Structures are given as C-alpha cells and as structure tokens.
Structure 1
Amino acid sequence: MSLALASLLIPLATALLLLFLRSRAGAWVIVASLLSLIAAGLALSEVVTHGTRTLAIGGWDAPLGIRFELNTLSALLLTFTALVHLLVAVYAERSRHSQTRDTDYWPLSCLLHASLAALWLSRDLFNWYVTLELLGLVAVAMIVIAGPKAHGPALRYLLLSLAASLCYLLGVALLYGRYGVLDIELLAAMTEVNHTTRMALLLMTLGLMLKAALWPLHLWLPAAHASAPTAVSALLSALVVKGPLFILWLLWSRIAPVELAQPAGLLFALAGIVALLAGGWAALRTPFLKTLVAYSTVAQLGYALLALGLLLHWQRSELSAALWLFVLAHGLAKVSMFLAAGEMQATLGSKRVSALKGATQTMPIAMFAFAVAGGSLIGLPPSGGFVAKWILLQPLLAEPAHWPWALGVLLGTFASAAYVFRVVALAFDRADPNPPDYNPDAFAQWLALLPALVVWGMALYSEPLILWLTEVGP
C-alpha cells in the first residue's frame, strides 16, 4: 500500500514544489510522472501477487476514518494515469506548438494526477466528493490556459460541474442521514429498497453522469475539450471523465440493491446505445477537427455505459472486464488522437477538418497516429478496442433474444468508422501547397503515435488484463 501512496504523494509534492520553483517545471513534472509510474507499476505487481490491500488513514477505521483500498483495478488505473501523464508531460515540454509552456499547466497537471490517484484509492462517498471537486476545479483552470476563446466553455463547464457536485452531495447526505455511514462496504451491507435510497441514487447518478459527460448530460464536453490546449484535451478525454464513471460503477454494483440496479442497468444500456449513435453523428457532421475528436469521446463512452448497464441488468461479472478494457483502450487512443490532431491543426494553420486534405503527404506520421488510434475506436483487431468489444459481444451473440443490443454495437461501429474514415479519406487526397509558416515537429508526431501503438499491442497482454478485471466485478 505504501507504493500506491507514493504514486499519489509524488505528484502532490511536485505540485506544491512548483508553486515556489518555476524554473524547469516541465522537467520536474516528467521526473515526477516517471517516479509515480514506477511506484504504480510496483503496486500493481504487489497486489496481483498478494491480493487486495487496505489502509485506514490516520489509523481510524471506518465509519469514523477514511479507508483506501488497493485492488487490481485501482492499481491498474494508477499505472494508466501515471503513464498518460508522463506521455502528455513529455509532449507539453518538447512540442514546438505546445500552448502550455511557461504557464500554470505544470502544477495544475500534478494536482490533477494526485486527485485522480486519490479517487482510484478512496472507498468513501464524501472523500469521492472532495476528489471530484478537485478534478473539476483543476480541469476548468487548465482549460482557461488557452486564453479568452476558452473562457465561455470553461465557465459553462464550471457551472455545470458545480451543479453536478450539488446533486452528488445531496445524495450523499440522504444516504448518510438514513444509514449513518459513508464507507461503501458498510453501506453495501445496509442499503434497502426505499424512497430515500432511490432518491439518493438518482441524485448521485445525475451528478456523476453530468461530470462524466455521459449521454444525455454531455453538452458541455465538446466545446470544453476542443477549446483547451492540446495537452489538456488529451488529459481531459483520457482521464478526467473516467473518474466519475469509476464512482458510478461502484455506486451501482456495490451499494445499490439488486432490485434497483437491474432496472437502472436497462436505462444505462439504452443511454449507451443512443450515445454511440448521437455522438457518432455529431462527430461526422462537425467541420472542426478537435471537436470531432471530442464528440467521439461522447460516442465511445457509450460503449462503457452499455457495458455498465448490461453488467447491472444481468449481474454478469465478466462484463466488468469489457467496461474497463473500453476505458483503458479509449484513454490511450484519445491521447494519440488529440496529440496528433493538435499537431496537425497547429502546423497546417487551420482548425477545420478540410485542412487535412493531403495530410498523408504533408504530415504522414501524425496522420498515421490518428488513423491507428481511430482503428481502435472502430474496434479493428487486434487493438484494445477490439478486445473490449469482443468481450462485450460474446454474451450478446450467445442468446438470440439479445440481438437488439448486438445491433446497437454494430451500428455504433459503423458510426465510428464513418467519422474516422471521413478524416482518413480526406488525408489521402492530393495535398494543397503548404502554408508559409509550415514547420512540422517530427518528435511530437512520433510521440502522438506511441500510445496508438500501445493500444494496438493490448491484445498481446489481454489475457491477464481480462482475468484481473473480471475479478473486480460485482
């Protein structure tokens, strides 16, 4: 457990250090992310070997104290978070087109890292509220770095995030007033089917879905992600929206009574199918490149919402593996797509998709990264997106009565293919003359390709991943 705490405390200490020491901030964050990645990787190895670990903060046991729990999923998410922060920090420090150099991005990114680590480890409803507030406030501050054009989307995100926090906190208060505890394991043994529990779960779900931008509460996300600096967009899409999803999964799989979880699961699954189609259609229609990538986040989260819904409705633990494989594969693909899109947008001098005409000739590495990452979103084998989709489809194809769900996944796949191939097909057209300030950054483009290659290599180590993630199911 000490290694997991190190993965949390290293970025937190670095954020505090950077408030006083601003020189070479990028190098400090890169080193801190690397050390956090090593600590998280060792924590993952420890928990796989020795099982789940718990820690009562300050020596106070629940219900008075705060409990941290390190299981295989938490350790995996700690490792994933540190890896993404390391990749994005190297990009933000080395890219010639980075908008974050010599800004407050560096301490804010460390605070974001520490908040996520605390969220993955916490098992207390109020502690989750604290980490959600930190995530939201830090994310808004990071969007504002882009300048006045981002103030409107950032303000909208802030106001909706505060409204979501109010809903979540009111639900927590109702549960505490009814049962007198906040620890999820204690609550799981006490919750009953009554009006208070229903209302609390409804309020908390609304708040979490709004913070995670799950359909239909997603309207703040495209503008916020598209207007943020490229490095910030990558962190928001790959990591920030996954934190509320993690809490939503534990809330309904551990705390909610089965009599409430099963009908709620059906609603989640239906919302997931609509998200696949609506998000894909919006991505297909938008004229702006980063907005396309942002809308694809709304669509791809539909797969996670569908997996969560069917997991709850059928109470099948193997669907937990599909849910979290979608999260990991989507996160890696989105880092690659946002970094590639940001480089192409800055180098070619336009935010529009139409500017990518002939990009396979003018920026072949960045375009290849975008296409490879898009292939995982579509679900082409042997990518991580394919592995997750295959696990999700197995129970759907096993029973003839489940064909509507399988059809929804198929239609979502077609929608993903449509907006990815819209960009790829344009990139294979004849290139226009390069703008006068054409100055591509080869290192940044190769860095954008790296997470796309990692997500395509997930099939090589999918067996232990599936085993670990199945074990954390309800």
Structure 2
Amino acid sequence: MTPALTLALVSLTLPLLGGLLLLGIQPRRKGLWVIAITFASLLAAAAALHHVMQVGPQLLNIGGWDTPLAIRFQLTPLTALLMLFTAGLHLLVALYAARSPHATGNEDYWPLSCLLHAALVALWLSADLFNLYVTLELLSLTAVALVALAGRKAYRPAFNYLMLSLAGSLAYLFGVALLYGRYGVLDILLLAELAEVDASTRLALLLMSVGLMLKAALWPLHLWLPPAHSGAPTAVSALLSALVVKGPIYILWLVWTQIAPPELGRQAGVLFAAAGILALLSGGWSALRAPRLKVLVAYSTVAQLGYALLALGLLLHWQEPRMTAALWLFVIAHGLAKVSMFLAAGELQRVLGTRRVRALKGASQNMPVAMAAFAVAGGSLIGLPPSGGFLAKWLLLQPLFEQPQHWPWAFGVLLGTLMSAAYVFRVVALGFDRARPNPPSVVPDRLAQWLAMLPALLALSLALISEPLLLWLGGVGR
C-alpha cells in the first residue's frame, strides 16, 4: 500500500474508531477527544493530499479480491482535497461546540459528529456504486440523529428528513440494480468503459439522479431542508449545510461525468442547468421572505446549491473543463461561508433571545464580531472579491461571456447574484443600523464569535490562494 493510501485510511479510521469508542466508554470530556481526533485526521488528510499531488491517483482493492469483485477505494487530488476540507470544517465546528455547549443539543453530538466525519471520508474515497450507497446511508442516518438532538421541536423535521432520505435511497438503489443487471459490474472505472446509450441506462441514470437530488435537497426536491437545517442545533446546522448535502452532489457528479455516455450527459445537462437557475431564484426569494434568521440561512443553502447544479449542467452540456473547477470551488466556498453564517446566527439568537430577523436591529453594537462574520460570509455567497465565491463565479461566467448565445445563462447568474445580495443585505442592514439595539438576554461570548468569523475569513481569502486550488482541481479526473 502506498503512503498516500495509508494516510487516507488513517484519516478515515480515526473518526470512525473515535466515534465508536465515545459511544462505548463515555469519557467525561468528549469535546477534547473529538478535537484531538479531528486534528489528527486533518493532518493525515493534508499529508495524503501532498503525496497524491506528487504521485497521481491511487487505487486500493479492499479485502484482497480482484476486480470486478473487489470493493475499491480511489484517492485523487479532488478526494484528498475534500477529505482535508471535511476534517477542517469538523475541527472548526468542534472548537465552537466545545466553547458553546448550547450549540450541540446534548453530549450525544460528539460521537455522532465523528461518525458523520467518517461516513463522509468513506464516501469521498469510494469507487463502487454500492459502496457509495452504503456510505450515503450511514451519512443520512447520522445526520437525521443529529437533527433530532434539538429535542421535541425537531422530531417532525427529522422524521420528514428520514422518510424522504429513504425514498431517495430507494430510487438510487433501483438505478444501481438496473446498471448491475445491464452490465454485471458496479465499479465506476469499469462502468465508464461499458456504459451505452440505451433505455435501461437512461432509466437507471434517471432514478439515481432523482434519488441523489432528493438527498442533496436540490431544487425542486428541497422542501425538507429548511425545517431540518433551521431546527437542528447550531453546530449540527453548520455541518449539514456545509458538508452533508455535498456528498450526494459528489456522487451525482461521478455518475454523470464518469459513467454516463457523453450523449446522455449533453441531454441531461440542460435540465440540470435550468434547475440550477430556478434554485437560485426560488431559494433566494424564500430566503428574502423568511421571518427567522436560521430559516433564511437554510433557504440560502437551497439557492446557493443552484450554482453547483448550474455548473454541473453546463459541464455536461458543453464538456467544458472550467466548469469542473467552478463546481468544486462553489462547494468549498459555500461550505466555509455556511459554517460561518450558521455559527454567527446561533450566537445572535442565543444573545438576543429570539429567532426573528427583525430583532437584529442594531445588533452590531452588542455583537460586532458575529455581525461582521455574517456579513463577510454573505459577501462570499454574493461573489464579492477576493472571496472564493467570486473566484468560482468568475470561472463559471468566463465561458458564458465568450459566446453571445449563452447570455440567458449569464443573465440567470446575474439574477441569482442580485437575489443573494438582497437577502444578505436584509440582515446586514438591520444588524448595522445605529438605532438603539435590543438588550442582550445573556453576556455575549467574544471567543465564540471569533470562531464563527474564522471560516468567513477563510472564504474571503480563497481567491488569494487560487493558484494551488486550481492546480489541485486540475487533477480532478478519476
């Protein structure tokens, strides 16, 4: 086994064993254990990324079997970067949760967060459609349990999340069964060589896409997301929005770029791109009208995922390589911004004692760092330079500007940007109003506010490290 694969397995095994041990032995200071485990996983993922950039993609057959019986893991620059991204965001949220116990619901958060981390790493590494199904189920079930930590008020959103997630899983699994019946293999690299344009393949791809879009809450299958993400504890909301919904998007990208014949991809690309534009508009309008702060942030997730869906659609329709980099830059920039916005929203709600957006009037006078964190993260969602959102949007718009006939897509991006600016400035304008603010119900925690600010600053500075980022994403091929 190569050093890169060994490090990748270490990054997977640490949170998995850590979560199981925390469930079994119940130590007193679970937060410190999780921080240490996540930090070690982060170091292993960073080292794996360094090695894979030097030697190229790596394959590992699990269990000693040869293909097509083997369950394979594959490490590429993209999967290593996603592992690093996952561990980094888990560490940030763990530091915040350790500082702010109110944000976790109860102590069960800590082992469940470790299992969520392990499920995501296993998903990034998997190169087999059934193994992807298993990791996706582990991810969804852990996410549902985390939502339920908020107590009775979250039981209905968690139940709806569970039922719709299972429906998405069944649709995906039916599609996998059709592909297996047609080609006799489930390994992605083998299917890429065998897939043909026929009715069975079309139906399989349709079922898998519907299931994955439902699990990722992509428009129009998104209605479960706002109640679940807004009703969950603050730390859980951050992980769900920043990371969990990205797992199904990754599988959707794999299915359509690696397995689907290009002819089918060109046909489906227009539908994905149109759904992305409608997500920008519909999600943005709902965020603009939301009366509660966390509901606003949750609807903005629906809207912002539209950019990723648009980039995927145009990638398939035009076979334009720049869209791949745009897609994954949107994923990374959105993840950083959403962690910051949800943590800032949680602190604002705790201190002000209310969930209403209108209660934020003058909040910057009592909580300047939290309001600044929300504003900086919102700037990345809008696409203001030098943020990661700006860099991703620039990569998305470049091919659109090169051909005059592509103006409808560019116009849709412009409308989505204006909608993002509207709901972000709705909050920022209230928060930085110089009117007399509502008195705080508890003493603000300055350190917790700075922990919310940190991912916003990282999102803001992504364009400053664009060269290594684009280099890593240039090795996306699997």
TM-score normalised by structure 2 residue count: 0.97
Does residue 323 of structure 1 match 2:334? no
Where does 1:101-250 land on structure 2 (aligned, <5 Å)?
Answer: 102-250=106-254
Q: Secondary structure at the match of 2:33?
A: helix
Residue in structure 1 matching 2:83, options 75, 78, 82:
78
Distance 1:5 1:395 in 2: 38
Distance 1:92 1:60 in 2: 42
Per-residue CA deviations over 1:262-298 (Å, capped at 9, x if unaligned) read 0100100000000001000000001000000000000
Q: Which residue of 1 aligns with 2:409?
A: 405
1:362 offset after TM fit, Å? 1.4
Where does 1:198-347 land on structure 2 (aligned, <5 Å)?
Answer: 198-347=202-351
Per-residue CA deviations over 1:292-328 (Å, capped at 9, x if unaligned) read 0000000000000000000000011221000000000
- Cα RMSD of the aligned pairs, angstroms, is 1.1
Per-residue CA deviations over 1:342-367 (Å, capped at 9, x if unaligned) read 01011100011011110111110000
Per-residue CA deviations over 1:20-68 (Å, capped at 9, x if unaligned) read 2221111100000000000000000001111111110122122101100
- What letter corresponds to residue 76 of structure 2 in structure 1? N
Residue in structure 2 matching 1:446, options 445, 450, 454:
450
Residue in structure 1 matching 2:379, options 358, 375, 378:
375
- What letter corresponds to residue 351 of structure 1 in structure 2? R
Residue in structure 1 matching 2:469, options 447, 456, 465:
465
Deviates more, 1:454-463 or 1:288-297: 454-463
Q: Secondary structure at the match of 1:56?
A: strand
Where does 1:41-80 land on structure 2 (aligned, <5 Å)?
Answer: 41-80=46-85
Evaluate the alpha carbon distance shift between residue 433 and residue 298 of structure 1 in structure 2; reply closer, same or farther with a 3 A threshold. Answer: closer
Contact 2:283 2:302 in 1 (8 A): yes
Contact 2:81 2:472 in 1 (8 A): no
1:470 offset after TM fit, Å? 3.1
1:431 offset after TM fit, Å? 4.5
Contact 2:362 2:437 in 1 (8 A): no
Distance 2:101 2:434 in 1: 26
Q: Secondary structure at the match of 1:69?
A: strand
Distance 2:440 2:261 in 1: 63
Distance 1:362 1:287 in 2: 21
Evaluate the alpha carbon distance shift between residue 144 and residue 96 of structure 1 in structure 2; reply closer, same or farther with a 3 A threshold. Answer: closer
Q: Secondary structure at the match of 2:194?
A: coil
Q: Which residue of 1 aligns with 2:364?
A: 360
Residue in structure 1 matching 2:44, options 26, 39, 62:
39
Distance 1:288 1:61 in 2: 54
Identity %: 70
Q: Which runs of 5+ in 1 are unaligned?
A: none
Distance 1:61 1:300 in 2: 41
Contact 1:290 1:351 in 2 (8 A): yes
Distance 1:159 1:54 in 2: 35
Does residue 93 of structure 1 match 2:101? no
1:96 offset after TM fit, Å? 5.4
Contact 2:361 2:438 in 1 (8 A): no
Per-residue CA deviations over 1:191-235 (Å, capped at 9, x if unaligned) read 111111011000000000000000000000000000000000000
Q: Which residue of 1 aligns with 2:423?
A: 419
Distance 1:258 1:417 in 2: 36
Contact 1:319 1:470 in 2 (8 A): no
- What letter corresponds to residue 67 of structure 2 in structure 1? A
1:97 offset after TM fit, Å? 3.5
Q: Which residue of 2 aligns with 1:2?
A: 6
Contact 1:396 1:402 in 2 (8 A): yes
Contact 1:95 1:443 in 2 (8 A): no
1:447 offset after TM fit, Å? 0.2
Distance 1:88 1:98 in 2: 10
Distance 2:104 2:93 in 1: 12
Q: Secondary structure at the match of 2:421?
A: helix
Contact 2:41 2:87 in 1 (8 A): yes
Evaluate the alpha carbon distance shift between residue 289 and residue 180 of structure 1 in structure 2; reply closer, same or farther with a 3 A threshold. Answer: same
Contact 1:318 1:470 in 2 (8 A): no
Q: How many residues align?
A: 473
Q: Secondary structure at the match of 2:59?
A: strand
- What letter corresponds to residue 136 of structure 2 in structure 1? L
Evaluate the alpha carbon distance shift between residue 259 and residue 228 of structure 1 in structure 2; reply closer, same or farther with a 3 A threshold. Answer: same
Per-residue CA deviations over 1:95-152 (Å, capped at 9, x if unaligned) read 254343x521111000000000000000100001101110110000000000000001
Distance 2:322 2:88 in 1: 26
Distance 2:280 2:167 in 1: 25
Per-residue CA deviations over 1:172-209 (Å, capped at 9, x if unaligned) read 00000110000001001111111110110000000000
Evaluate the alpha carbon distance shift between residue 436 and residue 307 of structure 1 in structure 2; reply closer, same or farther with a 3 A threshold. Answer: closer
Contact 1:97 1:343 in 2 (8 A): no
- What letter corresponds to residue 208 of structure 1 in structure 2? L
- What letter corresponds to residue 314 of structure 1 in structure 2? W
Evaluate the alpha carbon distance shift between residue 95 and residue 26 of structure 1 in structure 2; reply closer, same or farther with a 3 A threshold. Answer: same
Evaluate the alpha carbon distance shift between residue 426 and residue 20 of structure 1 in structure 2; reply closer, same or farther with a 3 A threshold. Answer: same
1:428 offset after TM fit, Å? 1.9
Q: Which residue of 2 aligns with 1:430?
A: 434
Q: Which runs of 5+ in 2 are unaligned?
A: none
